[in-house]
Chains A and B, each alone.
Chain A
């Protein structure tokens, strides 16, 4: 076991180091980005209320479009619930459909 580790030793750290330096801004960048966790799962929120516009507001930034989950990190289940809540809130003019 120890021998195996020793054998792999010299090339290991150096190989990893060069990959890190060489691919700056490359496809490996994703690996070093902090992994986002769905904030509704983390906060154990089971029901997303359309009446709470203040809570929904961060998910409709700038032009009032719904923030895609690849950016917000929200899981599929909660994104679906979020979508429904935002559509209801929009209908009741609690949230805008678009800005301008």
Chain B
């Protein structure tokens, strides 16, 4: 609860829309983020891309990514506005802070484990090393059997 919710919004603008339309959409998103007390983190225009499948009559579209912090009310409002927009043919808004935090934790834990293993005087790939040693013992056993 203490940490801000971060969202990623990707929307596809119709290829019929002008560059001004794309700029207006971005401005609208920015204005709403500000109005609801959120903050912009990143904005990317991926340019015109071919769609993996047809959406309506469209085979391509301009992709825009907006990353921002904010509240559920903000995303609800953005969702509503993008849905009624004539230029936006598809959009997806997802919360990402929890997954990103989880990924960070996993990474930190793995690095800590690595440190511990080094501190214990084992090599970084401790398990692998042991497996190889056992393999060596087997070879010796085989030789003993043959002779």
A residues apposed to B, CB below 8 Å: 2, 5-6, 8-10, 12-13, 44, 46-47, 51, 53, 88, 90-97
| Across-interface contacts of B55 in A (CB, < 8 A) | 93
CB of A16 to closest CB in B, whole Å: 10
A-B CB contact pairs (8 Å), 29 listed: A2-B144, A5-B141, A5-B145, A6-B144, A6-B145, A9-B146, A10-B145, A12-B145, A13-B146, A44-B110, A46-B102, A46-B104, A46-B106, A46-B107, A47-B103, A88-B92, A88-B94, A92-B63, A92-B90, A92-B92, A93-B12, A93-B52, A93-B53, A93-B55, A94-B52, A95-B52, A96-B52, A96-B53, A97-B53
With A8-B145, A46-B107, A93-B51 known, 13 other A-B pairs at CB within 8 A are A5-B145, A6-B145, A44-B110, A46-B103, A47-B99, A47-B103, A51-B65, A88-B92, A88-B94, A92-B90, A93-B55, A93-B90, A96-B53
| Across-interface contacts of A93 in B (CB, < 8 A) | 12, 51-53, 55, 61, 90
Known: A51-B10, A96-B52, A97-B53. A91 touches B142 (CB 8 A): no
CA distance A10 to B141 in the complex (A): 13
Cβ–Cβ contact A47 & B100, under 8 A: yes
How many residues on chain B are close to A (CB under 8 Å)? 25
